């Protein structure tokens, strides 16, 4: 089983949609998909380590909050395993452990939670959001080279951006959330490969100075061994 097919086995699999036979019959694996789902993000992570991320939600639609996410990497029964503590206390989201991870599962945990939130906010169906994200990553993702700063160092990075609902013929069903954008910033110099994951639903009023309706960002803080 591929790393993409393993990552959320037993959950509501966003990975399964990315391997859709219908899509793969007409599209080769895109650069965005390769970077996100077919790259060994854990090649620079030892068999015993904890990756710590911070998370912030803000915006005008509802109350924001700050929280944390941890990916705990351990070896048991001869296999590397990754478990997650996604938020703390009452906000904690339950996700399954990943056995023999190659890609960093924090990406799929982030997307799975995002889909649940889009269901809650719009009353749309999870399948619609998964399909839209899948198609955007396969066909319309913008991949650019950039730099990030971490620990006082400037590091090479790649940013992948999608707007999965913007041109969808059914976008009117989710109203102002149709303008949502996703940005994934990766760097091979960051343990676990993922520097930040960022989504924005722009203000329906428009204008660069307007507060977004919802903005969520997860970013790497440190690794503990």
Per-residue pLDDT tens over the stretch 183-213 = 999 999 999 999 999 999 999 877 667 899 9
Task: pLDDT band for 103, please (50, 70, 90 cuts).
Answer: confident
Those residues whose C-beta lies under 8 Å from the C-beta of residue 140, and which sit 6 or more positions away, are: 162, 163, 167
Per-residue confidence (pLDDT) for residue 2, from 0 to 100: 39
For residue 25, pLDDT beyond 90? no
Per-residue confidence (pLDDT) for residue 208, from 0 to 100: 65
Question: Taking the model in full, what pTM does it have?
Answer: 0.87
For residue 116, pLDDT beyond 60? yes
For residue 7, pLDDT beyond 80? no
pLDDT tens for 30-88 read 999 999 998 989 888 877 899 999 999 999 999 999 999 999 999 888 888 899 999 99
**CB of 18 within 8 A of CB of 141?**
no
For residue 24, pLDDT beyond 80? no
Task: pLDDT band for 11, please (50, 70, 90 cuts).
Answer: very low
Per-residue confidence (pLDDT) for residue 27, from 0 to 100: 57
Q: 93, 90, 122: which is closest to 201 by C-alpha?
A: 122
Domain boundary assignment for the chain: 3-224
DSSP type of residue 93? B
Q: What percent of the chain lies above the pLDDT cut of 70?
A: 87
For residue 12, pLDDT beyond 60? no
For residue 10, pLDDT beyond 80? no
Task: pLDDT band for 139, please (50, 70, 90 cuts).
Answer: very high
Average pLDDT taken over every residue of the chain: 87
Per-residue confidence (pLDDT) for residue 171, from 0 to 100: 86
Strand order in the sheet with 194-201: 98-99, 79-86, 65-76, 49-58, 214-224, 194-201, 181-186, 153-162, 142-150
**CB of 160 within 8 A of CB of 187?**
no
């Amino acid at each position: 089983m591929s790393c993409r097919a393993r990552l959320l086995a037993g959950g509501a699999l966003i990975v399964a949609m990315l391997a859709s036979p219908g899509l793969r019959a007409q599209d080769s694996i895109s650069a965005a998909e390769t970077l996100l789902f077919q790259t060994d993000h854990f090649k620079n992570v030892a068999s015993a380590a904890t990756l710590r991320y911070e998370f912030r939600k803000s915006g005008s639609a509802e109350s924001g909050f700050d929280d944390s996410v941890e990916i705990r990497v351990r070896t048991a029964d001869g296999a590397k395993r990754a478990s997650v503590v996604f938020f703390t206390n009452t906000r904690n989201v339950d996700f399954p452990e990943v056995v023999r991870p190659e890609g960093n599962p924090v990406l799929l945990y982030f997307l799975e939670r995002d889909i649940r939130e889009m269901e809650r906010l719009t009353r749309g169906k999870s399948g619609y959001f998964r399909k839209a994200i899948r198609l955007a990553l396969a066909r319309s993702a913008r991949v650019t080279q950039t730099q990030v700063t971490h620990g006082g160092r400037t590091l090479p990075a790649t940013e992948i951006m999608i707007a999965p609902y913007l041109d969808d013929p059914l976008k009117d069903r989710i109203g102002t959330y149709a303008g949502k954008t996703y940005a994934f910033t990766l760097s091979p110099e960051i343990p676990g490969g993922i520097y930040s994951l960022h989504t924005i639903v722009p203000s329906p009023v428009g204008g660069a100075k307007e507060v977004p309706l919802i903005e969520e960002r997860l970013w790497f803080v440190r690794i503990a061994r």
